[in-house]
């Protein structure tokens, strides 16, 4: 249950990428959760959860696509399989990269860490943050860009250099 709960955002993104839209993703995610729960006895806890969940989610997307195929043009199954494989392989080390992001943010100097938190976690606008700091928005945007570059390099080093 913990793994299923922790995987919700990953599954939602995976399903949305296969559908090409997030409009139908909540319904397909719900169907996927039901199947994952029903088939939980088949899951081997010694293996990574997300690849198994992605496989079942892919089948739910295919089932959903068959239901709507008469209504509009959809990707063929081979192309969707390629997209699924690409998304799954790109996300295979997502947990490691997220952990590394937390560690890398922790290494930033306090003012930069606070700026990153306020901009991305709190969702404050660049314009508002720049006004508060008494600097042009473009200057703050450049600073944020440089911080993101530094975080990206730090994550690559911490996560073994694979994107």
Question: And the tokens for 150?
Answer: 């530094």
Q: Tens digit of pLDDT for each residue in 32-51? A: 999 999 998 888 888 888 88
Question: And the tokens for 18?
Answer: 């296969």
Q: What is the pLDDT of residue 122?
A: 85
> What are the structural domains of the chain?
2-92 (1.10.1740), 95-158 (1.10.10.10)
DSSP letters, 94-112, are HHHHHHHHHHHHHHS-HHH
Q: HSE on the CB side for 67, CA within 13 Å?
A: 10
Q: Tens digit of pLDDT for each residue in 66-121? A: 887 665 555 667 777 787 777 777 766 777 778 888 899 999 999 999 999 999 88
Q: Which pTM value belongs to this model?
A: 0.47
């Amino acid at each position: 249950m913990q793994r299923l709960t922790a995987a919700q955002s990953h599954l939602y993104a995976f399903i949305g990428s296969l559908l090409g839209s997030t409009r139908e993703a909540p319904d397909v995610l719900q169907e996927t959760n039901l199947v994952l729960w029903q088939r939980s006895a088949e899951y081997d806890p010694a293996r990574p959860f997300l690849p198994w969940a992605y496989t079942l989610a892919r089948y739910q997307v295919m089932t959903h696509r068959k239901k709507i195929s008469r209504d509009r043009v959809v990707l063929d199954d081979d192309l969707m399989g390629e997209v699924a494989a690409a998304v799954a392989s790109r996300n295979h080390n997502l947990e490691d990269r997220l952990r590394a992001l937390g560690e890398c943010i922790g290494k930033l100097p306090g003012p930069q860490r606070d700026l990153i938190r306020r901009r991305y976690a709190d969702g404050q606008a660049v314009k508002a943050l720049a006004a508060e700091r008494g600097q042009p928005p473009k200057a703050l945007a450049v600073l944020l860009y440089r911080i993101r570059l530094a975080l990206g390099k730090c994550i690559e080093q911490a996560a073994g250099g694979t994107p």
